[in-house]
Amino acid sequence: MASAALLKSSFLPKRSEWHTTQKSSTPQPTVVAFSVRAGAYSDELVKTAKSIASPGRGILAMDESNATCGKRLASIGLENTEANRQAYRTLLVSAPGLGQYISGAILFEETLYQSTTDGKKMVDVLIQQNIMPGIKVDKGLVPLAGSNDESWCQGLDGLASRCAAYYQQGARFAKWRTVVSIPNGPSALAVKEAAWGLARYAAIAQDNGLVPIVEPEILLDGDHGIERTFEVAQKVWAEVFFYLAENNVMFEGILLKPSMVTPGAECPEKATPKQVAEYTLKLLHRRIPPAVPGIMFLSGGQSEVEATFNLNAMNQGPNPWHVSFSYARALQNTCLKTWGGRPENVKAAQDALLFRAKANSLAQLGKYTGEGESAEATKGMFVKGYTY
């Protein structure tokens, strides 16, 4: 376990400390104290993180805000009502056998307290499927004053009490998403703000029994090449882990949700899955301690098939972490289109979700071939300036 004291200083004691006594000609070693706190929940946090980072499984991100869920429903001609959101979320959590491929589901606050259309608590349905309930705890992005039109993530005020309440409701992990924009810099201010906010959130979540998912999303927006993405990602993750250590976050009790290292969405030079894997794994090896149990990638607007092929390429050899997925659109897109808001299409939509979940399960094991994929699954989902 690391601490900021170690990261700030050399392994050697300061020069003045070698001469504090002349009683012995042999210099006395300096003791460096490590302080990592996760409160009374330490063992449970480690157990939860390992359960989510289990072989062949990943995370279903279904934590879209009500406004964003409304955009998804509008794409299939449905109104943004609580009843329609409930119907769609019921379809997702009740897909038979989903827990074979999905270890955790990130929920929006409404869903955490919601029941299915047949009156069962959403949380209970997930637990019966052996899926760990999680919760989105940030309060969204707002403009960062003094930056180059960049954002910061709000939500630290009242976070401890919210986390405690979510734990009582059955959540066992949390998610906080902040973003970094390459076309806008990124400025040192924005990177530091993102890292510090993530670290404070992670410490507060652990103190209240929730495994924090740490997510500094490097947006796909831009025409930059893969080398530039790699350069920015190294800076971002160096800052993130420095401040995680400074806030005494226990690395064994967190999960990461990074972007894959890819070219900008508007870059004319596209990267192959092999190239994405090489750059992304190089980044992870340089920046992520092996104490972290799981790397759960976001899809960030990649097509369903692209996200799965890239994940598969990263699992062609052994990794010191569980390398898996935490996808939203890249798991749900074909499912949503198949459902179309029609009750008679629920089974077909659930089959589409299970097909996608199984494909990513195979990718986590390095065994995905792309067999049986539909044309819909190959369509890119990048939206410039996307917010949710």
Q: Token pair for residue 180? A: 């970094």
Nearest to 7 by CA among 245, 237, 198, 194: 245
CA distance linking residue 267 with residue 199, whole number of Å: 32
Tokens 């959130």 belong to: 201
Q: Would you give the DSSP letter of residue 247? A: T
- Catalytic choice (215, 239, 252, 304): 215
Q: Token pair for residue 62? A: 């279904």
Strand stretches in 124-172, DSSP E: 132-136, 141-143, 151-153
Q: Token pair for residue 263? A: 């070219």
Q: Token pair for residue 113? A: 């307290």
Strand (E) or helix (H) holding 178: strand 173-180
Q: What sign for the dihedral angle of Cα 230, 260, 282, 7?
A: positive
**What is the DSSP annotation of 41-54?**
GHHHHHHHHHHHT-
CA distance linking residue 24 with residue 46, whole number of Å: 44
- Catalytic choice (257, 304, 306, 373): 257
Helix segments in the chain, DSSP class H:
4-8, 42-52, 66-74, 82-93, 109-112, 122-128, 159-169, 188-207, 226-246, 273-287, 304-314, 329-339, 346-364
Give catalytic status of residue 257 as yes or no: yes
- CA distance between the termini of the chain: 34
- 304 neighbors 355 (Cβ within 8 angstroms): no
* Residues recognised as catalytic: 215, 257
